[in-house]
């Protein structure tokens, strides 16, 4: 069976940057996604089209097909007293409503009188290098098609990515902060909510 739209695909992967440094890896826990539902970044999804179980492929994804170019306009400076009583540290993440919708802001710098926040994804502006091996391909169930992502015992998208990064998503959440809802399941862009709202924005809150 070839990878095509409306199929659930599972694959092992290692993600590196231009220097060869490992950013994320499945580490024996394959990642699963619904092909064609934007669960993963578009450059990777397009490259996997047509592959079969057992196929191995190296994929290079430029920023435009990954998390976009780094945008200086997404740097926000806020007065320190706006952060309330929280002990703010570099690397912490916060959800915030912006002109572009809900975003995850990462603390980049903490000064005496202000906090510098960055609304860019941590992989924005980076060329991503994936080494992929397809481990399973199957037709999606009607429920999975309705919800826009796989349903598995291990959770949305199969879970299991080594650093929590979920194939090009965040490579670990600093100081216990959760992954941003705008990132989508597996680092993709799509929203996995069903019409009745039973699935949250990319994270699986399904009881099905």
What confidence tens digit (pLDDT) does each residue in 139-164 have? 999 999 999 999 975 444 444 333 33
* 38 touches 168 (CB < 8 A): no
The residue extents of the domains of the chain are: 7-67+126-171+183-187, 72-118
* 171 touches 183 (CB < 8 A): no
Tell me whether residue 26 is exposed, middle or buried, using C-beta atoms within 10 angstroms of its C-beta: 0 to 12, 13 to 18, 19 or more: buried
Residue 152 phi, psi dihedral angles, 5° rounding: -140, 160
Question: Given pLDDT bands bounded at 50, 70 and 90, which one contains residue 115?
Answer: very high
What is the topology classification, in CATH, of domain 72-118?
Thrombin, subunit H (2.40.10)
Helices (H), 148-198: none
Mean pLDDT for 67-72 is 94
pTM of structure: 0.71
Strand partners for 128: 61
Tell me the CATH class for 7-67+126-171+183-187. alpha beta
- Each residue of 166-182: pLDDT tens digit? 444 433 333 333 333 33
């Amino acid at each position: 069976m070839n990878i095509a739209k409306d199929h659930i695909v599972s694959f092992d992967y290692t993600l590196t940057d231009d220097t060869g440094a490992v950013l994320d890896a499945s580490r024996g826990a394959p990642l699963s996604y619904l092909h064609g539902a934007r669960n993963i970044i578009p450059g990777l999804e397009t490259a996997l089209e047509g592959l079969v179980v057992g196929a191995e492929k190296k994929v290079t994804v430029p920023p435009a097909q990954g998390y976009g170019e780094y945008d200086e306009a997404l740097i926000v400076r806020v007065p320190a007293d706006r952060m309330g009583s929280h002990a703010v540290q570099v690397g912490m993440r916060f959800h915030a409503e912006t002109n572009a919708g809900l975003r995850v802001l990462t603390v980049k710098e903490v000064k005496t009188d202000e906090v510098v926040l960055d609304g860019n994804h941590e992989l924005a502006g980076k060329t991503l290098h994936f080494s992929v091996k397809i481990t399973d391909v199957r037709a999606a169930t009607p429920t999975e098609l309705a919800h826009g992502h796989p349903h598995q015992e291990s959770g949305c998208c199969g879970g299991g990515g080594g650093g929590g990064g979920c194939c090009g998503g965040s490579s670990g959440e600093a100081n216990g902060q959760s992954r941003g809802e705008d990132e989508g399941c597996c680092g993709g862009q799509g929203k996995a909510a069903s019409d009745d709202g039973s699935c949250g924005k990319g994270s699986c809150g399904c009881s099905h």
